[in-house]
Amino acid sequence: MSCTIRILILACIFAVGFTIKTKRGSRIGHNLRNRGRNLSSLTEIKEKVYSAPIYGNISEIMYYYVDVYVGNPSNPSKQALIVDTGSSITCFPCIETCEKCGDHIFSPLSLYKSASAYVENCKDYDCGCGDANQCLFEVSYNEGSSYEGFFVTDYFQFSSNPYTSVAPKYTFGCVTRETNLFLSQISNGIMGLQPVVRDNFKPVFYTFYENGFIEKLQFSLLLEKNGGMMYLGGYDNSVLAEPPQNIVWIDNISDENYRVSFDNLSIDDEIISGGIIAKIDSGITFTYITQKQYDNIETAISNFCKQKKYKCLGRRDDQGCYRFIPFQEFTYKDFFYSFPVISFHVGSKKINWYPSDYFYQEGDAKFCLAIEPYAENESNIVLGASFLQNYLVIFDVEHQKVGFVRAATKECDRATIPKMKCSNDPHQTPVIKSEYDISEYNRDHKAKSFSHDLKSPISFKDISK
C-alpha cells in the first residue's frame, strides 16, 4: 500500500486508521512512570471518569462521532470528530488556513481567535517544516482522500458546561487541505485513539491521564443503535447489563492498535472458522471477514432458516438482504429473534453477536448483513462499529487488554426500527439525541460512507500487519 505521513516518517493507512512510527515513538504502556500531573485541577472534577455523549449510527450516518470544544476557554470552538480506534491522529480543519475544506456540521476552528493556541515548531520535533516552522503532517488514502496540515496545541474538552481553565491542553492536527470523501463528510474530522505516543503527539485519553484528570489509562465506548457514550478513565457501572465480573477480557496483542485473538467463530453454536486475529476499529462501519467466513455465515443462516416454519421471518432477496413487514402476529422483535446468533469464542467464554446488531436497516423493511468479505485471511479480520454495537468495550491500555460486556441499552430504537415496542425497564439507558438536527445530511451522505467508499477492498488488502 502506498501512503505517506510527513513527520519524517512513513505510515500505512486503512480507512481513517493509520500507524505512525518515529525514533521516539513507543507504546503507551512503557510511559506510565514519572508522568506529570496537575493535581490542583482535580478540585473541579467530581469523578475521575469523564463521559461524553456519542452521536451517529450505522444505518444512515454510518459512523459515530463525539462533540469536542477546542481553543480559547472563554469562547471555544465546537467540533464533531469520528471516534476512531483505528487511527492515531486527531485532526480537523482550521478556517484561516484551509485552502480546500468541505462544509461540515460545525464551523472550522478559528485558530487565530484563540489566544491560548500554540503552533508546534518543527525544530522541536522530527517533522517536516512549513511556513513559520510549522510541524507538518500529511495523510493519504489509496482511493484518493487525504488530509494535510500542521500540529497545534490548545485547550481541549468534551464538556458542554461552561468552559473552564481546568481543561487540558492537547496537540492535534490543524487541517489545511482535505480531498475527495473528506470534503463531503458531515463530521469535522477524526479523533484517533490508537495506543501510540510519539514525542508530544498523543491520544487524548493519555493527555487527560498524564495531567491528572483521570487515574486509569483506560477509555470505553458504548455504541448504541443511535448514539452512545464515551468514557475516559474507566466506565459507568450503571450501563452494564451484567456484573463486572462477567466482562470478557482479551489480551491486546499489538503495540500500535487494538488487535485481539479468538479461538473460533460459530453460528448457532456450530463452529464455522478456526483461530481468528481481529483488529478493533470503531471508525469502520461494517465488520470485515474473509470470503470463506462470509460464505459460511450465509450458508449457516440459510440452513438455519429452513429448520422450522417460523424461523427467519424475513424473505431473502437477490442482494442477500431480508425483507420483513410486521403484521399482527409478528413484530420486528420476533424477526430478530428468528435468526441465529454469531459467537466469537475466547477460551470458555464467548462474545455473542446478535441479529439486531449484525443486521443494519435499509428502508422501512429491508435488513442486510453489516458484514463484508474483504479480509485477506483469518489474521486480518476487522471488527467495525456493527460488531461493537450494544457492548461496552473497555480499552485498558495500561494492561494491554480489551474488555467486552453487554450494555443495558434499549433493545429497540424507534429511529431505526420504527414499529418495535420498547421496554419501559428503568435500567435501560435512553437513546442519545443530538442537540442539533442532522436529518438533512442523512440522505446525501449515506452513499458516501466510509464503509462503502473509503473502506474499499483495495485499501483493506493493504492493511498494515
Q: In the numeric block, which cell numbers belong to residue 364?
A: 422501512
| pLDDT for res 4 | 34
Our measurement of the distance from residue 308's CA atom to the centroid of its chain's CA atoms, rounded to an integer in Å, reads 38
Which listed residue (84, 154, 396, 413) is catalytic?
Answer: 84
Class for the domain spanning 4-216: mainly beta
Q: Helices (H) and strands (E) in the chain — how many of each?
A: 8, 33
Which listed residue (67, 154, 199, 281) is catalytic?
Answer: 281
| pLDDT for res 74 | 78
On whether the CB atoms of residues 287 and 387 are closer than 8 A, the answer is yes
Tell me the domain boundaries of the chain. Answer: 4-216, 237-460
Q: What is the pLDDT along the chain (465 residues), one digit of tens a residue?
A: 333 332 322 233 343 333 332 323 344 443 433 333 332 232 233 458 889 999 999 988 889 999 999 988 778 899 999 999 988 889 999 877 788 888 899 999 988 888 889 999 998 888 888 888 999 988 776 557 788 999 999 999 987 554 445 788 999 999 999 988 888 889 999 999 999 887 778 999 999 999 988 999 999 999 998 999 999 999 999 899 989 999 999 999 999 999 999 999 999 889 998 889 999 999 989 999 999 999 999 999 988 988 876 678 888 888 889 988 777 678 888 889 899 999 999 999 999 999 999 999 887 789 999 999 988 888 889 999 999 999 999 999 999 999 999 998 654 433 333 333 333 332 233 333 333 333 332 322 222 233 322 232 222 222 222
Cα–Cα dist 120/295, whole Å = 50
Return the CATH number of 237-460, one of 2.40.50.100, 2.40.70.10, 1.10.3720.10, 3.40.640.10.
Answer: 2.40.70.10
| pLDDT for res 410 | 57
Question: What is the sign of the dihedral through the CA atoms of 387, 265, 398 and 203?
Answer: negative
On whether the CB atoms of residues 49 and 236 are closer than 8 A, the answer is yes
Q: In the numeric block, which cell numbers belong to residue 91?
A: 485532526
Q: In the numeric block, which cell numbers belong to residue 291?
A: 470470503
Residues across the chain = 465
Our answer to whether residue 131 is catalytic in this structure is no
Element (H, E) at 173: strand 169-178
Among the listed residues 54, 61, 43, 59, the one whose alpha carbon sits nearest the alpha carbon of residue 213:
43
| pLDDT for res 449 | 31
Helix, coil or strand: residue 80: strand
Our answer to whether residue 199 is catalytic in this structure is no
Cα–Cα dist 423/420, whole Å = 10
